[in-house]
Structure 1
Amino acid sequence: MNIHTLRPVYGLVLLLVAFSCIPGTARTQGISRKRAAGGLTRTSCVEATVAIVGAADFGLTNIISGTVRFKKEAGGTSVTIGVDGLKTAEEDPFHIHVSPVGRNNCGAAGKHFNPTNIEQLCPGRVADHKQCQVGDLSGKGEKLKAKGGGIRAVVSYVDQVIDISQIVGRSVVVHDALGVKIACGDIACKRQV
């Protein structure tokens, strides 16, 4: 074999060895893991936010907007949602769904986030949140009540079962009274510890 033919191969081997020696950082939804002396350290998300936008496929992008905030506190996770542009005299449920929606594609959200496989949705303001689907936010809190006249519909409660690190990368979807997905947004970690 000619030495000039082997030079590119030696370069690739050297490059491969160099990259295999660099310590890596692995990321999962909401939790970052970094190699440290003696093992892995975990960082958890303690606050997450969602920018809610009206569903593009129904022409609601400039009509419905809002925010959701999840914040770890004593006794659970505070959940606060505020939405503008909902129909008057309608109660709208909202849930965490398993998949992100990306560029306002509410149809891509998939099913409700339900790792405990509970079939029924909760009626609202239940005492034991473990009886509800983890993603059934309005079942554990209450439905958004549209006020009309540009007044924001707001729901706030403390959720006993949500682990913020498990919901980052998923989505929140607002449904109309018939269950149609009318607004949505992705859950993003805002603060880690």
Structure 2
Amino acid sequence: MFKNIVALVFAAATASASLYVRDTDSSSASKVAQAMAVIAGNGVSGNFTFVPIPGQAGLEVGINLSGLKQGTQYPFHIHVSLVPANGNCTATGGHLDTYGVKTANGTYNCDKTKPLATCEIGDLAGIAGNLVANANGQATMTFNNPVITFGDNKTTVLGHSIVVHNPDNSRLACGNIVGYVLKDPSSKSESESKSEPKSKSESDSESDTDTQSSGASSVAMSAALALVAAAIAF
């Protein structure tokens, strides 16, 4: 059984890495196939994934975190600004609230049945509930959010960050939300590229390509982890 699970993991990782590349063109939001935020801070690590919901508005949000305290309630939100290079979660600004719901309503009370009227766009926990870790310090969750998108300027998750909070709302861990587009099937394979001499501009861009590959690998790992969970549950 374990060997079968391992085989599934490697198959998922290989397939996912070959399908997606990091989006480097901010004007191509309509082409984004999925997005992910790699979360880190204070011993907490993991990721958030965002994928379209077939036939429905909004995005499906997947969460897989470790390093949390068992039984503790952890709120989580989309924040306005990106996490800087130094990883400072306090630099991400406030919650994404492009419609000014919190200010307009006075006493804030997110009602998940009326998300646009009562919830900040970034209040993911208001719709799904707080994260709660198991005995191993792991927290997983999957839920549909009918409001967030990849393309609309007011509801897009792209260009923003995720912050996981302590129960007292202090900032525990964070990560930037990065979009991924489907890989162009006409693009050359790695082996084909290596067989041709590189121009100076191609050599200069190697570091950027490595970053994109790393992001795609993270997406692949997210898919692999989901398969592991499914296989174990089965």
TM-score, with normalisation over the residues of structure 2?
0.58
Runs of at least 4 residues off by over 6 Å? none
Which structure has the highest strand share of the two? 1
Counterpart-to-counterpart distance in 2, 1:180 and 1:121: 20
CA deviation after TM superposition for structure 1 residue 192, in Å: 5.6
Contact 1:49 1:187 (C-alpha < 8 Å) held by counterparts: yes
1:154 counterpart letter in structure 2? T
> Who is 1:22 aligned against?
none
- Write out per-residue CA displacement over residues 7-39 of structure 1, whole angstroms, 9 at most, x where no aligned residue: xxxxxxxxxxxxxxxxxxxx54xx33xxxxxxx
Contact 2:76 2:165 (C-alpha < 8 Å) held by counterparts: yes
Question: Alpha carbons of 1:149 and 1:43: their partners in 2 closer, same or farther (altered >3 Å)?
Answer: closer
Other structure's SS at 2:101 match: coil
1:94 aligns with 2:76: yes
Q: Taking every aligned residue pair, what percent have the same amino acid on both sides?
A: 32
2:110 counterpart letter in structure 1? C
1:133 aligns with 2:123: no
1:64 aligns with 2:11: no
Which one of the candidate residues 65, 68, 72 is aligned to 1:83?
65
Contact 1:142 1:155 (C-alpha < 8 Å) held by counterparts: no
2:70 counterpart letter in structure 1? T
Contact 1:86 1:148 (C-alpha < 8 Å) held by counterparts: no
Higher Cα radius of gyration: 1
Bigger relative contact order, structure 1 or 2, given CA contacts below 8 A and separation 6+?
A: 2
Contact 1:43 1:192 (C-alpha < 8 Å) held by counterparts: no
Counterpart-to-counterpart distance in 1, 2:125 and 2:158: 18
- 5+ residue gaps, structure 2, are 1-24, 103-107, 184-234
1:170 aligns with 2:160: yes
Which one of the candidate residues 171, 192, 217 is aligned to 1:181?
171
CA deviation after TM superposition for structure 1 residue 44, in Å: 3.5
Question: Alpha carbons of 1:149 and 1:141: their partners in 2 closer, same or farther (altered >3 Å)?
Answer: same
> Who is 1:144 aligned against?
131
Counterpart-to-counterpart distance in 2, 1:121 and 1:85: 29
> Who is 2:110 aligned against?
122
The count of aligned residue pairs is 147
- Write out per-residue CA displacement over residues 92-114 of structure 1, whole angstroms, 9 at most, x where no aligned residue: 00000000003311011101011
1:45 aligns with 2:32: yes
CA deviation after TM superposition for structure 1 residue 121, in Å: 4.9
- 5+ residue gaps, structure 1, are 1-26, 33-41, 55-59
